[in-house]
Structure 1
């Protein structure tokens, strides 16, 4: 409903735009870019699925929704997502609770282990599971002498997705739990409640919205995951892979696009629900962080149990990484265990140019993504103009769009005049920027809301323009958020797969696509070397960012001690 205040606010917004030409130009350019590279590809994909023969028709969707092959893929995706979301959220909560509410040893180590999967290639854990538990797996074949080839399918996907996605829940819940005053539990226990009852009646209810939001985030991540299912999915067909196979393998563009659009419906819906929950999380942190202590009282037994759980999960993660490193030096995994450097030689010959191109594209796109996200955040938070909420919505929308849908949309939108960009570096960089810009926008909005408007207003009153004020005053103040967004953008660019697999070319290939190709032809040694090299490059970049900026791991990744 439109209130009486809205027309006045709109007039004030127009007045600000006309008073600041630079702001008007910036708003128009940003809006145009968001429409062109986010909305237009989705429109092109939707159009393809609804006009298979050039005329509007719902026949493709009717076919998909009435055939068991596709219905099975939908059911499998939902089942997998629900299982992984439940397990990953549970593990993420245990980690977050242990590191923020309980005094256990090795917190820095466990926090590093909880963040390590974030910087890994999307299917590195799938490759590790094959090497450990596959037909010629180290554990199943060499140590136990048993056949576990059925690791392919639901069982294997649950393992790899849970390990790779529980950090999403951990990062969300660590902030939620740290914001709940430990004295609330202490007060409950002083009134006669046992520790367990105090947790169940105080801490858990206050954390429930965050738990639900984390569950939804992991559910969407599982639903849209492409790298792991295509490697270890086996006969367990899921929607993201089915859309890819229909579009590329079978050449059925309308059907592949329709499947990608179906994948878009739950992800966008969950995105809005999660945003609503987190927007209203203020009642979770009722009294703020305790000024006297950051952890609640806990028993020795609880500390031992949580330490064991964190150690077990961390050991499992390290086992996966050790397997990748070991696989790089084994001649033929499961058959010939002799030491060799041939995989390094082969990977250098095959992958050096691809690694160089991958690094170049990520380095170019990273500062653009970070600065573009901060510019949007600054305009949305500090300026008042018609359509600013729509700008924020569109900029954040790409976070909810599955990579498969993005890749298909980009192919359809930019493969013909007037935007013939397929096969170029520009289309890959553009995809990176607009896929990752929500990270910078969200971080920038959070940082700007902590900075008083009076600082910038004083600068403008002294004659500085908005652009100069942003560059000289605001940007230095939001430096941690800027570099945090840049780090995440770099990592996501280096480990992308689902969107860019549609956009790579012989000239501009990507390391993850090359690793996938090596895995498919069972060159697991080479795939291990390339995965290991990719992780090393990412870790070196993060180390350089931390040294150059002086920011700690907590600031870079937005987590708490």
Structure 2
């Protein structure tokens, strides 16, 4: 019975991972090369002839005569040219000339035909007229008499095929190539600055030279609980054309600059926004490495006469090398796929992710967007290959028992530099989030600074807050969707981890691999995959998930379960299998063992997985940008739309609401973890582990 249940659960989870992970990712690849190619002229002629044959002779004659009488002179000229070409007669006028001249020339060409050709011309002309101008009306007239593939072929005049034309178009388009190089450039600069800054901050925190370390840690991590475009948004409020600093201080106040020309829009604005957005990602990776730092090694180097600079270059940096490379990879990939910050503050600085967004929302060109998404992940794959190669070239091993900071004093100059860096970074984060709070309480930023609470109003009749469609109620919509995804995702991630580690099912490792796959692909690619795969699954519109809440919940769930799966597998690998065997020997089924034995032991992992999905569900943008609808909108998307439209007060109010909700949830979990006897609600940051995760 246990094995049967295990197999059934495993099969259901495998089916879910295939449908909601493998199929969307595969759909993007197929969409980029599965193109609708125009039918060749002779094949098009056969298709139209076959359709006309489905009309009765009376219908055909009547309809063709009506359409032919309704032709305007330009359409008649184009049909004449097509008919002559079909009859292998030279079109003797300039097809690029003025239409009046072409129309006159077409009449002369028809009048000059010999009698035999004239008869053939009169016979062929109606058919070419339908091919050029009346094919779509004919298709809909015959829709109930044609099977769906035949109807679609007649309507579109194309047939499905495979081609790398869009990939070649990317390589040959100066605009797209420039955007790609812009993406690489801004990502590289962001990576260098963010990793350098994160290393300085974490190093100072670990060495104990930064005052108020708890507050500094909290500020470093604060961007994790806010939508990703907030930094660009705050930069505009401070340093934009109507910015508090550029317009009111440097321009109007001191007269030093022209705010219309001296502002943060463009390349450096994108860099500043991205550095502050992805600083916490780099800090978490680096802190995990520096937490296991071999302090005695530095002390041994000092005992051999090495100076502080030599110790840092030859001991500290080599030991931190894996963390530096890992942090660089994470920041680079995140920056490459970020379209929100460039969209808000880039203004004339195109990046590839932004073009993907434009192709989907502006032109509905899913095929080109899919092709660009595949090129978008190429630099990340190259970066990963370099990470593996560089990481394998030099390896160092330190014992866990020696994982402590060195007791060597930090040189005074370095101490002052580290403290100054921490102070400036903390003040910058405070300034950026402070201006967001101020914007939420200001009537019109840059014009009318009158304090107001109007942006927090929930009255649906208060149109200026967009409360009916795009205002504060979207926060509650995000809360519902993220909450559902988090609750389900916590159990799903632990079930996958348990089956991958403890079940005897064949292919269980593939189950675990499929679950972590969304963690290594850009969110924009995963979201586009859902748009392509579930708009009309298997060609059936009735099965479409587009525009509903379900597709948002499923996307958020499967895009983020990899954290819980990895954490669950790591924990299970440290737990003795004898615990499960003992439960089984006492007659417990697989479900009972999982629920009463394994799940309580994985309480911390369950909370971590649920919390991670919830937080990301509240602030995610790239993965859900193409899946929202007027009936099911998310707050993070609404914030981007308001920021683009200059409605800064509403965007600020929504941001403040999201951050308050996330922080309240975190605080409640910490309080719950402090109560005795609550094994299932353990605070992920409590106890031993990276200090950067604890404020």
Fold conserved (TM > 0.5)?
yes
Please say if 1:524 is aligned against 2:637: no
1:37 is aligned, of 20, 43, 50, to: 20
Tell me whether 172-181 or 387-396 shows the greater mean CA deviation. Answer: 387-396
Give the whole-Å Cα distance in 2 for the aligned partners of 1:159 and 1:405: 25
Q: Name the residue aligned to 2:229.
A: 123
Give the whole-Å Cα distance in 1 for the aligned partners of 2:407 and 2:291: 10
Give the whole-Å Cα distance in 1 for the aligned partners of 2:339 and 2:600: 38
Please say if 1:549 is aligned against 2:549: no
Alignment partner of 1:337: what SS?
strand
Contact 1:102 1:297 in 2 (8 A): no
Shift of 1:103: 4.5
Q: Name the residue aligned to 2:632.
A: 508
1:298 is aligned, of 387, 396, 409, to: 409
Shift of 1:389: 2.5
Taking structure 1 as reference, are residues 135 and 246 closer, same or farther at Cα in structure 2, changes over 3 Å only? same
Alignment partner of 2:630: what SS?
coil
Alignment partner of 2:613: what SS?
helix
Report the count of equivalent residues.
Answer: 542
Give the whole-Å Cα distance in 1 for the aligned partners of 2:650 and 2:399: 53
1:402 is aligned, of 513, 522, 536, to: 522
Shift of 1:383: 3.3
Q: Name the residue aligned to 1:349.
A: 467
Taking structure 1 as reference, are residues 190 and 161 closer, same or farther at Cα in structure 2, changes over 3 Å only? same
Q: Name the residue aligned to 1:105.
A: 211
Give the whole-Å Cα distance in 1 for the aligned partners of 2:689 and 2:657: 26
Q: Name the residue aligned to 1:310.
A: 422
Please say if 1:256 is aligned against 2:369: yes
Q: How does 1:204-219 map to 2 (within 5 A)?
A: 204-219=317-332
Shift of 1:253: 2.2
Taking structure 1 as reference, are residues 285 and 452 closer, same or farther at Cα in structure 2, changes over 3 Å only? farther
Give the whole-Å Cα distance in 2 for the aligned partners of 1:544 and 1:335: 39
Alignment partner of 1:502: what SS?
coil
Alignment partner of 1:135: what SS?
coil
Please say if 1:195 is aligned against 2:308: yes
Shift of 1:458: 2.4
Give the whole-Å Cα distance in 2 for the aligned partners of 1:402 and 1:341: 37
Deviations 1:214-253 (A, max 9, x none): 1001100001112211111211111111011112201222
Contact 1:425 1:508 in 2 (8 A): yes
Max radius of gyration: which structure? 2
Shift of 1:19: 7.1
1:287 is aligned, of 399, 407, 414, to: 399
Alignment partner of 2:241: what SS?
coil
Contact 1:96 1:170 in 2 (8 A): yes
Q: Name the residue aligned to 1:370.
A: 490
Q: Name the residue aligned to 1:58.
A: 164
Q: Name the residue aligned to 2:341.
A: 228
Q: How does 1:69-80 map to 2 (within 5 A)?
A: 69-80=175-186
For CA contacts below 8 A with separation 6 or more, give which structure has more relative contact order: 1
Give the whole-Å Cα distance in 1 for the aligned partners of 2:385 and 2:225: 26
Alignment partner of 2:600: what SS?
helix
Give the whole-Å Cα distance in 1 for the aligned partners of 2:506 and 2:430: 51
Give the whole-Å Cα distance in 2 for the aligned partners of 1:366 and 1:274: 32
Shift of 1:460: 2.5
Please say if 1:94 is aligned against 2:200: yes
Taking structure 1 as reference, are residues 28 and 276 closer, same or farther at Cα in structure 2, changes over 3 Å only? farther
Taking structure 1 as reference, are residues 88 and 533 closer, same or farther at Cα in structure 2, changes over 3 Å only? same
Taking structure 1 as reference, are residues 179 and 285 closer, same or farther at Cα in structure 2, changes over 3 Å only? farther
Give the whole-Å Cα distance in 2 for the aligned partners of 1:438 and 1:296: 38
Scaled by the length of structure 2, the TM-score of the pair is: 0.74
Give the whole-Å Cα distance in 1 for the aligned partners of 2:389 and 2:670: 33
Taking structure 1 as reference, are residues 269 and 400 closer, same or farther at Cα in structure 2, changes over 3 Å only? farther
Q: Name the residue aligned to 1:451.
A: 575
Taking structure 1 as reference, are residues 207 and 238 closer, same or farther at Cα in structure 2, changes over 3 Å only? same
Cα root mean square deviation, aligned: 2.4
Shift of 1:406: 1.7
Alignment partner of 1:449: what SS?
helix
Contact 1:122 1:497 in 2 (8 A): yes
Tell me whether 366-375 or 158-167 shows the greater mean CA deviation. Answer: 366-375
Taking structure 1 as reference, are residues 306 and 107 closer, same or farther at Cα in structure 2, changes over 3 Å only? same
Shift of 1:529: 1.1
Shift of 1:73: 1.2
Give the whole-Å Cα distance in 2 for the aligned partners of 1:442 and 1:275: 20
Tell me whether 356-365 or 40-49 shows the greater mean CA deviation. Answer: 40-49
Q: 4+ runs of 1 displaced by more than 4 Å?
A: 268-278, 280-285
